[in-house]
């Protein structure tokens, strides 16, 4: 979530003509954030955990 907020702040900082102190975090900011992070669980560990659930 913090990366989405940072994306919104960066957009506001670089935008021209926007006034006010309000910061709106939108879906596009979360999409930017998700493109910058990697999974915390490897595919192998994920497969093993699903295998044990069945």
Show pLDDT as tens, one digit a residue, over the chain (54 residues): 788 988 888 888 887 556 667 888 999 999 999 998 888 888 888 888 887 776
Residue 19 has what pLDDT? Answer: 60
Residue 27 has what pLDDT? Answer: 94
The pairs formed by 5-13 with CB atoms below 8 angstroms and a separation of 24 or more are: 5/29, 6/33, 7/32, 7/33
DSSP 44: H
Residue 54 has what pLDDT? Answer: 62
Residue 17 has what pLDDT? Answer: 59
Residue 43 CA to residue 41 CA, distance in Å, equals 7
**Number of domains into which the chain is organized:** 1
CA-closest candidate to residue 18, choices 26, 9, 31, 30: 9
pTM of the model: 0.54
Give the residue numbers spanning the domain of 45.
2-53
């Amino acid at each position: 979530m913090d990366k989405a907020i940072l994306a919104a702040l960066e957009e506001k900082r670089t935008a021209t003509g926007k006034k006010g102190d309000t910061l709106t975090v939108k879906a596009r900011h979360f999409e930017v954030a998700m493109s910058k992070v990697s999974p915390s669980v490897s595919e192998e560990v994920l497969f093993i955990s699903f295998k044990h659930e069945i």
